[in-house]
Structure 1
Amino acid sequence: MTELSRRLLLAGAAGLASRPAFAQGTPRRGGVLRVSVDQAASVIHPLRTRVNPEYLVTELLYSNLTRLRPDMTAEPDLATEWSANDALTEWRFTLRDGLVFHDGSPCTAADVAATFRAILDPRTASPARTNVGPIAATEALDARTVLFRLSAPYADLPVALAYTAARIIPARFAAGDLDALARQAVGTGPFKLVSYEPDRRIVVARNERYHDPERPYVDRVEVMVFPDSTAETSALISGDTDILTTAGQGEFPRLSSARGVTALRTPSGQFLNVNMDCTQAPFTDIRVRQALALTVDRAAMVGFVAQGFGTPGNDVPMNLAYHFHKELPLKRANIAEARRLLAAAGHPNGLDLTLVASENPGTRTQLAVAMREMARPAGFRINVQTMPHATYLDQVWKKGAFYVGFYNMQPTADAIFSLLYTSDSAWNETRWNNQRFDALVREARVTTEEAKRRGLYGEAQQLMHEEVPSIIPAFFDLLGARRDYVQGYVLHPRAAVFRLEQVWLGNGAPRR
């Protein structure tokens, strides 16, 4: 076993002892926790989730092999420990003893192996397929040991297996009626599904056979859907809800001054991006993309879109929150150069474009409007088209030529690149296909030497910075809030991690 493998094994085992800090003494059990989200949890299938409310609900109902700590390192979930061979091409994960699914059937290594075979099958259409690492095959060595054989060395596998769409499901679904999990939930998570109204309310109740006998603390969680941010804030302030998972910048001052409410804020790599289809004119011409990027006043964009709760972006999906972030010269607005590039691309009289933005979150529309005004002096005549989020997901996401996207921080550089920007990524919205970029990401994925890996990821970021497959003008701090009696809840920088099984209700909590 290599020294790296030994450290990974010890890190996995050490995570068993991790416990959150609490403000009101010993955690106590009982009560109903109401959590608000800003859009419907339309997908309950744990291998096909796409947005934060869906990640929250499936995290309540299912488990991964590993979980993400706030520092983006892996800790145990269903697996208690893991180790790799010297080449980092084979990994063994040992499961907890006595795991059971909600229906009482045992959860074994055979279920884990079958889950990942389903994830890797293109017919499953799981975004996890290109985000769980270069897995070539999985095998149950015995009831508690699963072997991952990789097509290339990969040091990030324990972190990658915590991906939001890599929850473990029973083998009978993974190898049989996989679509049945779109209508029911059979997981090993801390809660069981009680009722599912995706546009209004999802209710779950404590799983008495959860692998951690101390948790969950609350008896029941009700996930309440509030498409209107003002109404969502009012519900928390009035005490109708207990946790607001995502607060808008406009509502944050109101939450900060509300009696009985604790406002929450943490830095993150969350961002909005303006996606341009690099296979469709006019965006096939790099000069058009570069010109548009040069119209953006990034500091002003942080103020306008993030209302100061963020940092400027540089058209690279990584900031200082990422380990391998490369500091590049921040692009400055240069209208004269933008006009020159646009003319050189064959548009001396300017260019008409339609930029599509979902209404949720509202920052998408704000970004689109800001882009329209900033780009106008350079000759870009942008028509902003807004639409309901469900319509956007159905008609525009991964299909449109020019639209505003929204993404959480990913745990690693490989994860964010493999999700959005490599030519074979799960959500390659820009259709950018740069073979050198792909090669750099592939090589970094199999490199364990720190300096070399940093150099590879740095060159990859440099390519993106220059070729601009999408414009990333700002990163957002994560904002949320909780009632003062809610204990054990913190914002996770990943934004898609919630850990509600750690939450308990202290003094002053309402009886429901």
Structure 2
Amino acid sequence: MSLFEKNTGSEDLLHLFGKKWKLPGEKAVSNIAKTLSLTERVVFILLIAVFAFSSLFLLWKVSQAFMVEVPERGGSLVEGIVGSPRFINPLLAETDADQDLTALVYSGLLKATPEGEPAGDLSESYSVSPDGLTYTFRLKEDIYFHDGEPVTAEDVEFTILKAQDPILKSPRRINWESVGVRVIDKEEIEFTLPHPYAPFLENATMGVLPKHLWKNLEPEQFAGSLLNAEPVGSGPYRVKKIKRGSDGLPIYYELTAFKKYASGEPYIRNLILKMFSNEKDLISAFKKGEVESINGISPQEARVFEKRKEIQLLTRPLPRIFGAFFNQNQATVFANKEVREALTISLDKEEFVEKILAGYGITINSPVPLSYLKNRNQDNRQESLSRLEGAKSIL
């Protein structure tokens, strides 16, 4: 284009935007306004203002009713945890540090919702036979490990069989003992229980190992594998970077969101997990702003933070049960069923929850977590007098 043509275009733009544009009906409104008295003009202007305000208010209400806010993906979070992980492995994880990282890197057939209920993760559906002995899971399509390999029912079978291996000495072995495993096809797997067990779905939240990476290792070699420190899973986050101290132990893990995660890419793009030797150092770092989030703190510390308005304290129910067990070998009186029942009734469970767990607990009357019961709103509280009277009546 020539210089002349550019100048002509600029003049055309100036001519176009330099014109005085009139709105439709502007002349009619102007003529009407001239015929009105001063009072009528004020009323006319007020009516227009009310109409404009009402229209904006109506649009706002419609927006509130039909529009949904969607969080934007991105950002990062620095979280502090106590201890240095040794086994980022669903079969071997024992400490809080192990379990925290394992939960981020690995995914299971199911996952726990914020309400503590099981929901699909690697599986899209599951069914339970009428007798409660057979559980069949159907895996989602196009699910992958962090290295790009697909997740199949064979990976699930491999993981469960390794959990059952007595040589491996997995802490999860008791959960899978005597459970039969059968691969139906690459996307469907079946478990057979020796007897009905309501909390079995909790077992299905255990992370799945990639068979192609672990299959050549003997059970005795599992604990010493580098894959325990540099894990490859199918969970919401994959390991991006590990920084170690002079002793070789990890100082922090940098994780990044896994875009092909079966339950959808996480909204927080990057996670940095810093390790601390004890809870005191962790809390100190949190107060100094060195970490933005902490978890797994003691109930007593949680009660302190609960009083600070600038801190958001989040709690969620866990399928974890604390109980008192009577040692019948040490005291033969506990062999008497009526004695055990009377003691169970007479104990003030609410007092235990308040004094030991600082109120962060729920009393139950069975070994099954509330999340697995139909009547989850059951009131387990019992007045002291009625408890003691009930215990006396048994004895």
Q: Does the pair score TM above 0.5?
A: yes
Q: Which residue of 1 aligns with 2:260?
A: 209
| Structure 2 counterpart of 1:151, one-letter code | P
| Cα distance in 1 between the residues matched to 2:111 and 2:230 | 23
Higher relative contact order (CA 8 A, sep 6+): 1
| Structure 1 residue 226: Cα displacement | 3.2
1:118 aligns with 2:165: no
Q: Which residue of 2 aligns with 1:170?
A: 210
Alignment of 1:243-392 (within 5 A): 243-252=293-302, 254-258=304-308, 260-265=310-315, 282=330, 286=334, 301-310=352-361, 323=373
Which of 274, 281, 285 is residue 224 of structure 1 equivalent to? 274
- The structure with more radius of gyration: 2
| Structure 2 counterpart of 1:187, one-letter code | G
| Structure 2 counterpart of 1:232, one-letter code | L
Q: Go from structure 1 to structure 2 and tell me whether the alpha carbon gap of 1:269 and 1:182 turns closer, same or farther (over 3 Å shift).
A: closer
Higher strand share: 1
| Cα distance in 2 between the residues matched to 1:328 and 1:30 | 45
SS at structure 2 position matched to 1:112: helix
| Structure 1 residue 232: Cα displacement | 2.5
Deviations 1:200-224 (A, max 9, x none): 4233222233234x51222321222
| Structure 1 residue 191: Cα displacement | 1.4
User: Where does structure 2 lack aligned partners over 5 or more consecutive residues?
Assistant: 1-67, 386-390
Q: Which residue of 2 aligns with 1:160?
A: 203
Q: Which residue of 2 aligns with 1:83?
A: 127
| Cα distance in 1 between the residues matched to 2:252 and 2:326 | 35
RMSD: 4.1
| Structure 1 residue 296: Cα displacement | 8.3
| Cα distance in 1 between the residues matched to 2:316 and 2:257 | 29
Q: Go from structure 1 to structure 2 and tell me whether the alpha carbon gap of 1:318 and 1:52 turns closer, same or farther (over 3 Å shift).
A: farther
Q: Go from structure 1 to structure 2 and tell me whether the alpha carbon gap of 1:313 and 1:112 turns closer, same or farther (over 3 Å shift).
A: closer
**Retained in 1: the 8 A contact 2:114–2:317?**
no
TM-score of the superposed pair, with normalisation by structure 2: 0.62
TM-score of the superposed pair, with normalisation by structure 1: 0.49
Q: Which residue of 1 aligns with 2:185?
A: 142
SS at structure 2 position matched to 1:221: strand
Q: Which residue of 2 aligns with 1:41?
A: 85
Q: State, as a whole percentage, how many aligned pairs show the same letter.
A: 22
**Retained in 2: the 8 A contact 1:36–1:223?**
yes
**Retained in 2: the 8 A contact 1:114–1:174?**
no
| Structure 2 counterpart of 1:79, one-letter code | S
Q: Go from structure 1 to structure 2 and tell me whether the alpha carbon gap of 1:123 and 1:284 turns closer, same or farther (over 3 Å shift).
A: farther
Q: Go from structure 1 to structure 2 and tell me whether the alpha carbon gap of 1:151 and 1:200 turns closer, same or farther (over 3 Å shift).
A: same
Q: Which residue of 2 aligns with 1:151?
A: 194
| Cα distance in 1 between the residues matched to 2:302 and 2:129 | 48
Q: Which residue of 2 aligns with 1:490?
A: none
| Cα distance in 2 between the residues matched to 1:80 and 1:157 | 17
1:51 aligns with 2:101: no
| Structure 1 residue 118: Cα displacement | 1.3
**Retained in 1: the 8 A contact 2:86–2:229?**
no
Q: Which moved more, 1:82-91 or 1:323-332?
A: 323-332
**Retained in 2: the 8 A contact 1:40–1:199?**
yes
Deviations 1:243-291 (A, max 9, x none): 2213334433543454642123456675656778766xx467748x98x
| Cα distance in 2 between the residues matched to 1:81 and 1:103 | 25
| Cα distance in 1 between the residues matched to 2:133 and 2:322 | 35
| Structure 1 residue 111: Cα displacement | 1.2
Deviations 1:424-473 (A, max 9, x none): xxxxxxxxxxxxxxxxxxxxxxxxxxxxxxxxxxxxxx9xxx9xxxxxxx
**Retained in 2: the 8 A contact 1:229–1:251?**
no
SS at structure 2 position matched to 1:118: helix
| Cα distance in 2 between the residues matched to 1:50 and 1:322 | 24
Q: Which residue of 1 aligns with 2:148?
A: 104
Q: Which residue of 2 aligns with 1:65?
A: 109
Which of 37, 58, 76 is residue 32 of structure 1 equivalent to? 76
**Retained in 2: the 8 A contact 1:202–1:222?**
yes
